[in-house]
């Protein structure tokens, strides 16, 4: 793992996963979460300095990475998929989403960000070989989402005769949990299509059923979103600017999404009757 002028490799932030990254011997090593600031977190610095200390002691090499043992070399030769970790699959799929999911004007949709957020719940499995990430691991990720995700709300309680306001976490909705798990499943299916992971892994992950209504295993049930009445809709139009009101009229008549109508051009409309 030699470097010019004997300088150690630099730690960088990988934007797609918000994790520390260090390139070693042509491979990317991913460390702890970077945090929310420009400077790396304390955990990242500890991880980096630990690697650099080994790098210096070994004369510019990391023996267990740059000089694999005979056993690990045989394992890699016999089963290359075991060198392909969940984090690497996540990075490649996010990069694919950034280029594949585009609006008609060429701007990216929010799909890549949604996938990135989904894989952050699988942080504890980043270093697991993708071939070993199967149904039990996906269920563990789902349980982790239910325990840690969800919106915050202010709650007022009476303590010692005084009202105290504090934030309390609500469990995530069942549909949010299912959507998040489906994005991880889709990433593995995409990896199977490209030969990055065995098809049997994607097949086993597909066997994990989505949470059913009334059986969310701790996830929150949300009330159905009902349409507004015609009277409310027409009264609202009177209070809106003409452009926004026309936008809503077209949405109501076509059933299209707001983003689709906003990106619509005059030449997209047939006016010949």
* pLDDT one digit per residue (tens) for the chain, 273 residues: 444 556 778 888 887 677 888 876 666 677 888 888 888 888 888 888 888 877 776 666 654 554 444 333 333 444 445 567 888 889 889 989 988 888 888 888 889 999 998 998 888 888 888 888 989 999 999 999 998 887 877 777 777 778 888 777 788 889 999 999 999 999 999 999 988 888 899 999 999 999 888 887 888 888 888 888 889 989 999 999 999 998 999 888 888 888 888 888 888 778 776
CA–CA gap between residue 202 and residue 93 (Å, rounded): 14
CB 119 within 8 Å of CB 88? no
Assessment of whether the complete model's pTM goes beyond 0.85: no
3-class secondary structure, 12: strand
For strand 152-159 and strand 27-33, is the pairing parallel, antiparallel, or unpaired?
unpaired
CA–CA gap between residue 271 and residue 273 (Å, rounded): 6
CB 149 within 8 Å of CB 172? yes
Residue 112 is inside which H or E element, if any? helix 111-120
């Amino acid at each position: 793992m030699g470097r010019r002028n004997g300088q150690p490799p630099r730690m960088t932030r990988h934007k797609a996963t918000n994790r520390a990254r260090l390139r070693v011997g042509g491979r990317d090593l991913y460390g702890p979460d970077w945090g929310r600031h420009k400077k790396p977190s304390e955990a990242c610095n500890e991880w980096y300095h630990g690697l650099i200390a080994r790098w210096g002691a070994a004369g510019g090499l990391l023996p267990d990475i740059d000089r694999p043992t005979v056993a690990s070399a045989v394992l890699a030769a016999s089963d290359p998929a075991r060198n392909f970790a969940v984090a690497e699959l996540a990075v490649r799929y996010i990069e694919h989403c950034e280029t594949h999911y585009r609006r008609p004007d060429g701007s990216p949709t929010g799909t890549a960000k949604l996938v990135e957020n989904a894989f952050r719940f699988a942080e504890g499995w980043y270093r697991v070989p993708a071939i070993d990430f199967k149904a039990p691991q996906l269920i563990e990720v789902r349980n982790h989402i239910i325990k840690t995700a969800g919106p915050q709300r202010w709650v007022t309680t009476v303590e010692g005769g005084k009202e105290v306001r504090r934030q309390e976490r609500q469990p995530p909705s069942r549909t949010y949990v299912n959507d998040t798990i489906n994005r991880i499943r889709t990433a593995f299916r995409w990896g199977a299509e490209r030969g990055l992971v065995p098809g049997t892994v994607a097949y086993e992950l597909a066997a994990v059923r989505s949470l059913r209504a009334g059986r969310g295993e701790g996830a929150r049930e949300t009330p159905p979103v009902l349409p507004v009445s015609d009277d409310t809709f027409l009264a609202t139009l009177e209070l809106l600017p003409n452009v926004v009101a026309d936008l809503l009229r077209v949405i109501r008549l076509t059933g299209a999404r707001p983003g689709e109508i906003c990106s619509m051009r005059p030449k997209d409309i047939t006016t010949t009757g």
